[in-house]
Amino acid sequence: MQKTIEKLKELTKDVVLLEHAVATLSWDQETYMPPKAIGEKGEQLALLQGILHEKITSSDIGKLLDDLGADDNNPAGKSDSLSPTNSAYIKETYRQYKIQTRLSKKLVTDLALETSLSQASWIEARKKSDFSLFQPHLEKVLELTKQKAEAVGYKETPYDALLDEFEPWSTTKEVADIFNSTQPWLTDFIGKIKNSKQVDDSFLLKDFDISKQEIFGRKVLQDMGYTYDRGRLDVSVHPFTTTLGKDDIRLTTRYQKDFFKTGLFGIIHECGHGLYELGFGDKVRGNLLASGTSLGIHESQSRTWENVIGRSMSFWKYYYPELQKYFPENLTGISLNEFYRGINKVEPSLIRVEADEVTYNLHIILRFQLEQELISGALSAGDLPDAWNKKTKDFFGITPDTDANGVLQDIHWPMGAFGYFPTYALGNLYSAQFSSVMEKDINVNESLENGNLSDILDWLRNKIHIHGASKSAEELVLDISGEKLNPEYFKKYLENKYKQIYNL
């Protein structure tokens, strides 16, 4: 059995290497690629995706999985003598093999080419704030994505097949039930804040020199534990983290001169993702388990650092005096408490990545509902802008003034990443549940006030990062907290924090 597993790991090593090569091309497209290079770049990506598909669906991998007894009833194989990590490895390999064998090579390469072209079209459409420039590409991506869902198969809805790619073993109904239980509470809580005296954040909307923003952000990045010998920080239209190799984890952010929160909190957020990727244990590094348990768990790491840590009073007790030195013209006379309240201002807004942590999940629920309608055919691509604007009005009481501030603000649909959005909201819920345990295990506030971020990173490494994808999201949250995902932790976290900020 062990020899068979080693053979399987050797074969799937090529899959991991090809995934990193694809990520390298995609990173280049989003950062430094000249605009006219998009045509061949799309062909390169399609070629590599085709080879990747052939690798993961090879008959050799299929035979080894058969020898290990992996099937739909026993995806982890039939041996009781295997270590938990090896059982998890078989289970994940079987999951990917089963999905990919149901997809034709043509569909895989068509999707890779079209999403590459679609992303380039989206960038241009976003610059010009003109959805019509992007619509034809979205229609093609949607059609291919629907074909993908049908090929993969599902029990209840095509969306299940797409969600499983990002949140393995979860169903649309399970996610919808969680969202339906939190949306009314969020709406009510936002209403209470709306009826309170609003926080003043005008000092964050002044001219903050971008070069200084970058210097300060890089300092925080390194304090968090991110090292440039295993990664780098660049600028992109939409912030992201990507893995180009086990020792090559790259981050991007974007800066706004007149909105300080965008750059710094984008860096902290993406660093949370990066630290997760850098923290995989030796048992999973270099194989198919060297990835996040799910994107919901991945997002819990970025949201923990960005919000629970990065927007806390304890964090800024240490960092605010330093920040004032960089921007005395904007922050002199602004007290720590005023700054803390300002960076945590709650206000319905148009842009998801700049939304506060109270209204953020509503942005996700909006997208979750819309993309289900797109996949089911209940909503056409041409009607998407109007549907988006209507839901924004219903959810937030405001209407997007431009396509760029509305339907064109996210890169996920151009990427063909339908089923991705729910993981952001799930990440917030996981983050609150994990943090409640962490605060019992270590003195988080004391560590932050002393500028000691290593204690927090160590806890996250030992409890979450080290496992990679060797545990499911459900198993991980149960091991750490003793119960399944429970939205009540998130509600309690928001109540404790914002009742104080808004004197509720």
CA angle 235, 142, 177 (to 5 degrees): 85
* pLDDT value at residue 287: 92
Q: What is the pLDDT of residues 57-85, one digit of tens each?
A: 999 999 999 999 999 999 999 877 889 99
- pLDDT tops 90 at residue 354: no
3-state SS class at 21: helix
User: In CATH, what class is 172-501?
Assistant: mainly alpha
Q: What is the pLDDT of residues 219-238, one digit of tens each?
A: 999 999 999 999 999 999 88
- pLDDT (mean) for 290-308: 97
- pLDDT (mean) for 359-385: 97
Q: Taking a C-beta distance cutoff of 8 angstroms, is the pair 157, 373 a contact?
A: no
The helix (run of H) or strand (run of E) holding residue 234 is: strand 233-235
Residue 171: count other Cβ atoms within 10 Å of its Cβ.
17
- pLDDT (mean) for 183-198: 95
Q: Taking a C-beta distance cutoff of 8 angstroms, is the pair 7, 74 a contact?
A: no
3-state SS class at 312: coil
Q: Which of 200, 208, 205 is nearest to 328 (CA)?
A: 208
* pLDDT value at residue 162: 97
* φ, ψ at 354 (rounded to 5°): -110, 5
Q: What is the pLDDT of residues 484-493, one digit of tens each?
A: 999 999 999 9
- pLDDT tops 80 at residue 267: yes
* pLDDT value at residue 392: 97
The dihedral formed by the CA atoms of 497, 252, 296 and 438, expressed in degrees to the nearest 10: -50
Please tell me the distance from the alpha carbon of residue 387 to that of residue 472, in angstroms, as a whole number: 35
DSSP 8-state code for residue 200: P
* pLDDT value at residue 78: 84
- pLDDT tops 90 at residue 324: yes
Amino acid at 84: P
Q: Which of 465, 374, 412 is nearest to 166 (CA)?
A: 412
Please tell me the distance from the alpha carbon of residue 491 to that of residue 207, in angstroms, as a whole number: 35
Q: Taking a C-beta distance cutoff of 8 angstroms, is the pair 284, 12 a contact?
A: no
- pLDDT tops 80 at residue 35: yes
The answer to whether residue 270 is catalytic is yes
Percent of the chain with pLDDT over 90: 96
Using a 10 angstrom Cβ sphere, with 0-12 exposed, 13-18 middle and 19 or more buried, the burial of residue 58 is middle
Please tell me the distance from the alpha carbon of residue 350 to that of residue 353, in angstroms, as a whole number: 9
Contacts of 132 (CB under 8 A, 6+ apart): 125
Q: Which of 116, 103, 111, 114 is nearest to 53 (CA)?
A: 103
Q: Taking a C-beta distance cutoff of 8 angstroms, is the pair 90, 65 a contact?
A: yes
CA distances to 312, 357, 358, 362, 392 from 348, rounded to whole Å, are: 21, 11, 9, 10, 10
In this prediction, residue 2 has a pLDDT band, given cuts at 50, 70 and 90, of: confident
DSSP-assigned states of every residue in 36-57: GGHHHHHHHHHHHHHHHHHHHT
Please tell me the distance from the alpha carbon of residue 97 to that of residue 99, in angstroms, as a whole number: 6
In this prediction, residue 167 has a pLDDT band, given cuts at 50, 70 and 90, of: very high
Q: Taking a C-beta distance cutoff of 8 angstroms, is the pair 296, 473 a contact?
A: yes
Q: Half-sphere exposure of residue 119, counting CA atoms within 13 Å on the CB side?
A: 27
* pLDDT value at residue 82: 87
Q: Taking a C-beta distance cutoff of 8 angstroms, is the pair 307, 356 a contact?
A: no
- pLDDT (mean) for 396-402: 95
Q: What is the pLDDT of residues 422-476, one digit of tens each?
A: 999 999 999 999 999 999 999 999 999 999 999 999 999 999 999 999 999 999 9
* pLDDT value at residue 440: 97
* pLDDT value at residue 238: 82
CA distances to 264, 284, 343, 367 from 463, rounded to whole Å, are: 26, 15, 29, 31
* pLDDT value at residue 353: 86
For the chain, what are the domain ranges? 2-153, 172-501
Please tell me the distance from the alpha carbon of residue 356 to that of residue 190, in angstroms, as a whole number: 11
Please tell me the distance from the alpha carbon of residue 284 to that of residue 246, in angstroms, as a whole number: 11
Please tell me the distance from the alpha carbon of residue 355 to that of residue 364, in angstroms, as a whole number: 11
Q: What is the pLDDT of residues 142-164, one digit of tens each?
A: 999 999 999 999 989 999 999 99
In this prediction, residue 375 has a pLDDT band, given cuts at 50, 70 and 90, of: very high
CA 334 to chain centre: 33
3-state SS class at 249: strand
Indicate the average pLDDT of the chain: 95
Q: Among 19, 92, 270, 299, which one carries the catalytic annotation?
A: 270
